[in-house]
Structure 1
Amino acid sequence: MTHEMLAALCPLLAAEASAEAYACGMESNDLEQAVWLRFLERLEVDRPLVDPQGWLRRAVRSEARRGRRAARRELPYGTEPADDIGPDPEQQALMAARRRALHAAVRRLPGRCPRLMAALLSPQDLTYREIAGELGISQGSLGPERSKCLGCLRRLLAAEVAASEPRG
């Protein structure tokens, strides 16, 4: 096949692909590429084309039918897997590190604070009544005790953050 014939087939292929692409749900460039691939495969087998323009039109329609069949069989995802709204692995690692640092700081608190803060941070989502029963203190004293423990924790964490920052 001559270079001139290939150059003559390019505009025909572009026009045919653009006419068929919308109906089969494909991009015209994808359709063109599929037809060129079929053309190259045919050249490898070394079968000469008697009617190149006719073959090209038939190949475009054949690829368009293949695209329509694929579109009927393939079901799109509701959302793309990459579009998950959950945190990515880096964010998960950072959150886990913060959680470990928080729990380590809670363990260093004075008095009843470690037990109280551990109960408040529990994944079981305990009520004040359950926490009071677990710690053996009145439910009314939980609020003031919690405030005192949070103040201690805040000072402890502020000192750690200030100590870890580079100076100068």
Structure 2
Amino acid sequence: MTDELVTTLGPLLAAEASAEAHAYGDEPGDLEQAVWLRLLERLPTQGPPADPQRWVRRAVRSEARRGRRRTRTEQPYATEPADDGAAGPEQRLLASARRHELRAAVRRLPGRCPDLMAALFSPEDLTYREIAGELGISQGSLGPERSRCLGCLRRLLTAEVAAR
């Protein structure tokens, strides 16, 4: 009986849903799905409708009205609730994991790069003169050395991301 209902009511439901949905700003597929669901919920307790075509027309209009009420009363969030900018536990955990991965990648860099990057990332906000004195290199070579180290870090992180 259900297959018979689907084949006979399918075209009518599609046409009715298309006409009603566009008038109320809904998607025809959503409206069709809601009516099919309503029919499936009805079948075990009440059986198929006595006048299926009339039932479909009424059900489509009813679901369209329900959708219209829903769009009038429901207001969308400006942002996702989890992305409201507040540093919740998820954001703190993700930021901590990113910092941990970055520190681990910096430690794997060649030569003086780990020390130089640690000095550059230092919360003490060291000047180039202080970093050069701490590392025992000339202040003029810090820029090219930093550029080389950042290039190595970029290649290292790119390779790791591609490997995942």
With the shorter chain as reference, the TM-score category is: 0.5 to 0.7
The RMSD of aligned alpha carbons is 4.3
Alpha-carbon shift at residue 21 of structure 1 (Å): 1.4
Partner of 1:102: 106
**Pair 1:67 & 2:67 matched:** yes
Alpha-carbon shift at residue 147 of structure 1 (Å): 5.5
Which of 139, 144, 167 is the aligned partner of 2:140? 144
Unaligned runs of 5+ in 1: 82-88, 162-168
Give runs of ≥4 in structure 1 deviating > 6 Å: none
Which one has a bigger Cα radius of gyration? Answer: 1
Change (3 A) 1:53 1:101: closer
Partner of 1:44: 44
Letter matched to residue 75 of structure 1: P
CA offset digits 1:18-73 (Å, max 9, x no partner): 01112333321221121111112111112552332221111001111222233231
Matches within 5 A, 1:13-162: 13-47=13-47, 49-72=49-72, 73-75=74-76, 77-78=78-79, 97=101, 99-103=103-107, 105=109, 109=112, 114=115, 118-128=118-128, 131=130, 135=134, 143-144=139-140, 146=142, 150=145
Alpha-carbon shift at residue 142 of structure 1 (Å): 5.5
Check whether the contact 1:17–1:31 (CA below 8 A) recurs between aligned residues: yes
CA offset digits 1:117-145 (Å, max 9, x no partner): 5322324543446x36x85x9xxx86235
Tell me the TM-score normalized by structure 2.
Answer: 0.56
Change (3 A) 1:123 1:61: farther
Give the number of equivalent residue pairs: 134
Tell me the TM-score normalized by structure 1.
Answer: 0.55
Unaligned runs of 5+ in 2: 83-93, 157-164
- Report the Cα distance in structure 1 between the residues aligned to 2:121 and 2:23, rounded to whole angstroms: 57
Task: Tell me the secondary structure at the aligned position of residue 13 of structure 2.
Answer: helix
- Report the Cα distance in structure 2 between the residues aligned to 1:42 and 1:53, rounded to whole angstroms: 15
